[in-house]
Every structure is written in structure tokens, then in C-alpha cells.
Amino acid sequence: MIYLQLFVSFMKIGFTSFGGMSMVPLILEEMSSHGWMTAEDLANLVAIAEMTPGPLGINCATFTGMQTAGFPGSVVAVLGVLMPAFTLTMVIAIFFEKCKNSSVMRSIMYFVKPICIAMILGVIVTLGSETYFSGRSVQIWSAGIAALMLYLLIKRKWSVPAVIISSALLGMFFYGLLPLII
């Protein structure tokens, strides 16, 4: 019964909130109504969830499920909080698949694609200026790693996970280990 309660509680949280701190009042209400946590416990939960990687809702669901019903409880709670996003994504995917050849959908995508590309380019420029430049000087190791990884990705056909792992290892060497040696 506890598993069903966890699933339904976090599914309600997932359907009625939009992520981030907007979930906290809903989580508090659900946790206190079931007697799973006090307000102090929730404050600690939010602090821990904000310090760990990943979305607040998933971190809260994992922690609450673990505290309430062990590992199976954490799995059930995470599935509950993910169910709304999964359901909506599947509905949109089915809709898109059925309508992808319609003239209306082609017209919509004609405008949506350039907007998405512009947004991605904006993020690249913003993050790139922070990553590759320090004031007026170029971060030579960052630019070198980026150029090497771009070459390996495009010319050598490396997989994206291999490029990510290689980038991380080179970054740890040049920005973590090398400054200690020099």
C-alpha cells in the first residue's frame, strides 16, 4: 500500500507543479498529510536535493521514497514524479507522428526549427564566452580540448559519450592535475 501511496503522491506533484522550488509546497503537503516528513525534514530534504545533481523533484522523490520504503520506495516515487512528463511526451510524440506530413505541421515547424537553432546557438555563445575566454585572453587548454573533440567527433567519428569522457579527463588533467605539478 505504501508503494501505491508514494506513486500517487509524486504523480500528483509531477502533474501539478512545474519543477524547481514550485514543487516544495506540494511536496510539504503530501509529506505531512501522510506523516512521512515534518517541515524540518522537508527543509533538510530541499537543502540536500539542491546540492546534488539532478532535478529537485527527482531528488526529493528518491530521498522520500528511500526514507519511507527503502530502495523499492525510491524507485516507485521517482516513477511517479516522472509519469506526467513521460505521459505528455508520449502523447505529443504520437500526435507529431500522426500529423508530421500535414501542411499545418510543416508550416509550424518552418518557424519552430530556426527558433530552436537560434536558442541553442545563444546558449553556445554564452557558455563559450565563459568557457573559452577570461577577460581578453583565450583559455588555451579549453579551446584546445574543444578543437580536438570537435575533430574527433566529426572527422574520426567518435561517439558522443567517448568525446564527453575524453573531454572530462583532459579537463581534469589540464585544470586539476597539471596546475599541481607546475
Q: What is the pLDDT of residues 25-49, one digit of tens each?
A: 888 888 888 888 887 888 888 888 7
Please name every residue paired with 138 in a beta bridge, in sequence order, or none if there are none. 133
pLDDT at 83: 94
- Cβ atoms of residues 3 and 76 within 8 Å: yes
pLDDT at 117: 94
pLDDT at 182: 66
- Cβ atoms of residues 175 and 141 within 8 Å: yes
- Cβ atoms of residues 51 and 84 within 8 Å: no
Identify the DSSP state of 102.
S
pLDDT at 3: 95
Please name every residue paired with 128 in a beta bridge, in sequence order, or none if there are none. none
Domain boundaries, the chain: 2-99, 107-181
pLDDT at 131: 80
The verdict on pTM exceeding 0.75 is no
pLDDT at 47: 83
Q: Which residues of the chain have pLDDT under 70?
A: 18-19, 182
Residue 137 dihedral angles phi and psi, to the nearest 5°: -105, 155
Which residues have CB under 8 Å from 32's CB, separation 6+? 38, 39
- Cβ atoms of residues 9 and 34 within 8 Å: yes
Identify the DSSP state of 139.
-
